[in-house]
A and B are shown apart, each in its own frame.
Chain A
Amino acid sequence: MSATISSKRLGSEFVRKVKEISGQNLHLCYQCGLCSGNCPMVSSMDLPPRQVIELARLGLEEEITSSRTVWTCASCLACTVNCPRGFDLSKIMEAIRLLTLRKNVDHLRPEDISPQERCALPQLAMVGGLRKFSG
């Protein structure tokens, strides 16, 4: 992947909001990759979790929002409990999801779930899924 880094992007509104919503210091991360190594969903992701942190702190918004990674994260916190820097990546994933959802753009609408699944799924899956994927 090639991307242009600029001071404008580094200090962008996107970076500021990710920090604010997540409450995380993006610069704590030293890119060891334990998050990616521990992520059980990584095989379904197009961007490994480690790269999400790197792209976020560089302000590369389009690269992150065009990826399906934050929507593939299951908030299982395998990254969080294994991070040697005490960094909570799950909160970064949530912040990036919210930046889309808060623009009134849903990743998944209730009507996208098939009628069969609505009946079969445990209620907690419906609640969890709609909380993470609809605004």
Chain B
Amino acid sequence: MSLAYYPGCTLKTKAKNLEDPAIASMEVLGSRLEEIPRWNCCGAVYSLADDDLIHQVAPVRNLIRVKEQGKNEVVTLCSFCLNTLKRANLLMKEDAEKRGTLNSFMDEEIDYGGEVEVVHLLEVLKDQVGWEALAQKVKLPLRGLRVAPYYGCTLLRPREVAVDDVEKPTILQELLEALGATPVDFPEFAECCGSYQIVSSPDDIPKYAWHILNSALSHGAEALVLTCPLCDYNLGQGQKELMKKHDEFDGVPLFYFTQLLALALGLGPQVCHFELNYGEPELLLREKNLLPRGEAL
């Protein structure tokens, strides 16, 4: 089966460790993530202004590309892309006047009326593959790995585009369990990492990162699992600063959910690009016998 796939810009450079293991894993699970042609940046942040239609053009254009492929569903991996595409899609479905304006502005494109559904890969794993079927494909159960699921903002908020229950999401926990790992709940699972504030107030970010990382550690986690390249950067760069400040803090490995998926499916560390990760995940994985000792990555 082939699934229309929207990668997002960051996955092509800094977050290859989010994309490559996803593509390889889905291949094993019998689905091909097929990149849609001529996709453009989704705009990352959804415009919150009622009178600002120009910033809806970018996400809608991508939905048009999916429609052009004759597909009615598009899969994303990055939570920001998911959020922006899904919210723009809702606008196109529900607001006839704005839909008309956007369609006539994009007079070089076919008309779009919300025919495509935007889903996150986590939802594909849950609803299309199924946790049990996934668990059966696991070759290297991630036994003994205690991981805190960190959802961040854009996977869960606002309510109308959330991939799971806003207050008590379980989808990442369910994935971890299917892969044989031990999920570790902590209260800051959906607390903001600082997001795009990294651009204007980088000095504030370690403070937010500390709040999240320290809580996960104190609840017994050995690592965090993420879905978002911006969370990864803020928690990753943030912890580098924190390690300078706090002698007792050694950092904490950050994984993308797709890396743990690929590892458990027995795809080996090569597709995971652990060299792009923060917090030295290889050390932890070797300790848990999930990576061959001494293997060069």
Contact = CB atoms under 8 A, between A and B. Distances in A.
B52 interface: yes
Interface residues of B, number: 47
Nearest to B12: A123
B200 A128 contact: no
A128 B50 contact: no
Interface in B1-15: 8-10, 13-15
A124 to B, nearest CB: 4
Nearest to B41: A127
A125 B233 contact: yes
B158 A94 contact: no
Interface string B196-224: 11111110100110010000000000000
A94 B49 contact: yes
Interface residues of A, number: 42
B49 A98 contact: yes
Contacts, number: 137
A117 interface: yes
B248 interface: no
B166 interface: yes
Interface string A25-67: 0000000000000001101100000000000000000000000
A12 interface: no
A122 B233 contact: yes
Contacts of B208: 40-41
Interface stretch (B99-107, B126-134, B187-195, B287-295): B187-195
